[in-house]
A = this chain, B = another copy of it.
């Protein structure tokens, strides 16, 4: 099979073009070469993009696939007119029918982000990242009332990446607490968390997978041994069951899937999408 190149052209960051383009391409068994052309916001840059696409078409002998999210009509026109790729105009395809449905013209605003220094929503997102970092791994019990979510689980069950993702993508203040031998002996959740039970969500993981992850960090340690992992996981699950908190297994799940499940369950009010 020929090499195929996929271009993602945007007048903003190109993240939307690429997220969506990748989801569409995941429907096919192919590993195309990716070229992202962000900030393509002038007619000059559009002509450059056209030259690059057409050059690739010649070299590879097949036309490249070109995903665009362009709000600037002049830029789009240059690409529509000159480009020898297969053009998939993601905005035009859906914006035009929506203009009819909503009976208004689109504003051709470029990108999802306008000047962030004037955005309260953006400030909240940065504050959520600060909070989640300060409350990573049980570092601080201060201001837990301010938390939207508190994750608990054994070491390396996925708490830290999930907390940071919830903060970064959803503007949620996410604290996380490790469950450790002292908790298992007391057979109770960490005492500082008790007043906030409604916000707690547990993460668990298969002992075999946990042992594999821990072995990458500390090979052949007791910490990583399958026996120890089995023991910690079974203690942690028993505790979560007793405490009556919601929990899920992260074994085969991505950060995005874990976060989406938590959001569905906890439905926190302050949700920035």
Can you spell out 18 A-B residue pairs with CB atoms less than 8 angstroms apart?
A: A13-B259, A14-B260, A15-B260, A22-B273, A26-B109, A27-B109, A28-B102, A28-B106, A28-B107, A29-B104, A39-B261, A93-B93, A113-B253, A123-B216, A126-B161, A129-B160, A129-B164, A168-B255
| Whole-angstrom CA separation of A99 from B38 in the bound complex | 26
Query: Given A12-B257, A20-B90, A24-B90, 16 more contacts at CB 8 Å?
Result: A16-B19, A22-B273, A23-B112, A26-B109, A26-B112, A27-B109, A28-B104, A28-B106, A29-B107, A38-B264, A112-B256, A116-B254, A117-B251, A122-B254, A129-B164, A164-B164
Q: Does A247 contact B (CB under 8 A)?
A: no
Residues of B with C-beta under 8 A to A115:
252
| Whole-angstrom CA separation of A251 from B113 in the bound complex | 13
| Whole-angstrom CA separation of A112 from B257 in the bound complex | 10
| Whole-angstrom CA separation of A161 from B128 in the bound complex | 10
| Whole-angstrom CA separation of A107 from B28 in the bound complex | 6
Q: Does A59 contact B (CB under 8 A)?
A: no
Task: Select which of B24, B108, B253 is within 8 A of A27 by beta carbon.
Answer: B108
Known: A20-B90, A22-B273, A273-B36. A256 touches B13 (CB 8 A): yes
